[in-house]
């Protein structure tokens, strides 16, 4: 079964940093764009960032630009989200999801919770 498994979430103080990981299995990871999408408690889905298949191109939502960095290691079938200068409004469940037109976001992980609080 095609699978994405996130890890790395937790409680962090405002201004702190955290690195999320997303391990892929049972598909050719190096052929796909990968994305991070977040969802604050009780709120809707918000796209965060994406990276192309070989890691040379990235895009970010304005709300995280300059603070978050998406990267990938195709040898380890893993995509990362390095988050710094965290704010209370970054509190959310973070999902990684597989991209690539036309069926963007066709596979999702279970999500990992990030709580930014003092």
Partner 1 sequence: QSVLTQPPSASGTPGQRVSISCSGSSSNIGSNTVKWYQQFPGTAPKLLIYLNDQRPSEVPDRFSGSKSGTSASLAISGLQSEDEAGYYCATWDDSLNGFVFGTGTKVTVL
- Backbone phi, psi, residue 90, to 5°: -85, -5
Q: How far apart are CA 118 and CA 110, in angstroms?
A: 26
Choose, by CB under 8 A, the member of 1, 56, 103, 118 that binds partner 1. Answer: 103
61 binding partner 1? (CB under 8 A): yes
Pick between residue 75 and residue 88 the one whose CB is nearest to partner 1: 88
Q: How far is CA 27 from CA 39, 55, 77, 113, 116, in A?
A: 25, 17, 9, 25, 33
The single residue listed with the structure tokens 């764009």 is 33
1 binding partner 1? (CB under 8 A): no
Minimum CB separation from partner 1 for residue 45, in Å?
A: 4
**What residues make contact with partner 1 under the rule CB under 8 A?**
35, 37, 44-47, 50, 59-62, 95, 101-106, 108-111
């Amino acid at each position: 079964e095609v699978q994405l498994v996130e890890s790395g979430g937790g409680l962090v103080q405002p201004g702190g940093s955290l690195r999320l990981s997303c391990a892929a299995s049972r598909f050719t990871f190096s052929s796909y764009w990968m994305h991070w999408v977040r969802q604050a408690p009780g709120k809707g889905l918000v796209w965060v960032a994406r990276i192309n298949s070989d890691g040379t191109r990235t895009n970010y939502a304005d709300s995280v630009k300059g603070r978050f960095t998406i990267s990938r290691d195709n040898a380890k079938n893993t995509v990362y989200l390095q988050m710094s200068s965290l704010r209370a409004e970054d509190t959310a469940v973070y999902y990684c999801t597989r991209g690539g037109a036309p069926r963007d976001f066709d596979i999702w992980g279970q999500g990992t919770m990030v709580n930014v609080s003092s």
